[in-house]
Structure 1
Amino acid sequence: MTVQKISIIIPAYNEAATICQILTKVQEVILIQNIEKEIIIVDDCSTDATEAKIRQYMNANPSANIQFFKQKVNTGKGAALHTGISKATGDCLVIQDADLEYDPQEYNDLLRPIVNGYADVVYGSRFMGNNPHRVLFFWHTIGNKFLTFLSNMFTNLNLTDMETCYKMFKTAIIQNIKLKEKRFGFEPEITAKISRVPKIRIYEVGISYYGRTYEEGKKINWKDGVRAIYCILKYGAFRS
C-alpha cells in the first residue's frame, strides 16, 4: 500500500505535565518513505493547563501540522478518539496517548506491515519481543492478559495485547466502523468489530512500554477492567 500521510490521534485529559514532551517526540520521528504526519489532538475538557500548553506549543511550532479540538464536556477517552478518528485525513492513523508510556519512534515498526502490503491493522504488543518494559503492577499485567484471553475467545484472534494503546489502522477501515464506547471500552469494542471485517489482515509487532504509576498520572482502574469485560461480552458474545 502507498502511504503518503498518517494521522496521529492524541486524546488528552489533564496531561499538562507531559503533552509538550510527547508532541516533541512525535515531531522528531522520521517516518519511512518520507511519510507525512498529521497530528490531531483532542482535549477531553481538561481542568488543568493542558489546553494552554497545547496552544503554546502550536504557537511556538507554526510549521507543525497540528489540529486541536476540545470536547465541550468530559466524556472519556473513547469519545475523544471518535472525534479524532472522524477528523483524520491520513491514509493510516495511529493512536498515541498523551503521556510518555509509549515511544513514537516505534511508529515505523507499526507501519512496515501495512506499507509492505501485508496488514490492514497493526497492534503494538507490550508482551512480545525484547523491547524495554517498565516493571510495575503484577495484577495489571494479569488483568491485561485475562482481558486479551477473553477477547480472543470471542474474536477468534490470537492477540497478545488487546488493551494496547498503539493500534494502527488503514483510515478508511476504522472510519467505516460505528463506534459507541466513550471511555476505556474503546479497546475491546474496536477489537471485536475489526475482527468481523471481511478479509481483514491483523498483525502484531513488539513495542516498548514505559508505564507510569498512579502518582505519575495513570488513570485506568479496576472499574475500567469490569467495563472491559462487559464490552467484550456485549460486542463479542451478545452481538446482534
Structure 2
Amino acid sequence: MIDALKPSRPARSHGFAYRLGWWICRGIVIFLAVSVGLTLLYKFVPVPYTLTMAMDPNPVTKDWTSLDAIDRNMVDAAIAGEDGRFCSHSGFDTDAMKKAFERNMQGGRIRGGSTISQQTAKNVFLWQGGGYFRKGLEAWFTVLIEQIWGKRRIMEVYLNVAETGIGTYGVEAGAQRYYNKPARSLSRVEAARIAAAFPQPKVRAVTGASGFTLRHGNAIARRVNVVRGDYDSCVYR
C-alpha cells in the first residue's frame, strides 16, 4: 500500500521535461521581446555601442552622424562596393550568396555574400565570426531591421557602426582619420577608398593603398555614378 503511493520514475521524468520546456519557451519569449524592443529603439536613437567595439582591444573612435550629414558619394560607394542590389532585395541576395559559395568551393580567397542589411544586423546586435548559430541570429535580425527600420535607416546605421580602420568605427570617424574632413565633404574617390576597406578594415589601407585594395577602390569609384539614381533610390527618394 505504501509503495503504491510513491511517485513513479516516469512521472518524475515527465515533470522534468515539462519544466525544461517551460524554461525554453520562456527564454524564447524573452529573446523575441528583447530583440524586437532593441530594434524598435534603434529605429529612433543612435546605436551607442556594439559587441564588436566592446571586444576591440584598441581604443575606439566613433562619431555618430546622421545620413543627411554624410555625402551621397559615400552611400553610393557602399552600395557599389558591398551590395549592388541593396534597394531591390528584402535583406538577402540569394544570387550573391550562391555565387560566393561557388567561388569559395573553388578555393582561394574566401568571399562573402552578405548584404548591407545582414552586415548591419551582425554589427549592431551580434559578434564577429562564423558559425550556424550566429548566422541564424543574423538572419532573424536582418528580417527585423528590414521590416522595422527600412532601407534608409539601415544605411544610416551601417555607415555609423561599420569598422573603417583599427579602432575606428563609422564613416565620420574614418573621414576625419584619413582625410581630415567631415563625411559630408568626401569626394567620390575618397568615399570609394573607404568602401574598399569595409570587408577587412584592419588589413586594408584606405590611404596609400596598393594591390587589390587599390584596384577595388578604383572600380568602386567608377561605379559610383552608375549607382546614383536607380540603385540608391530607396535611400534618396
Fold agreement, TM-score > 0.5: no
More strand by share: 1
- The interval holding the TM-score normalised by the smaller chain is under 0.3
More helix by share: 2
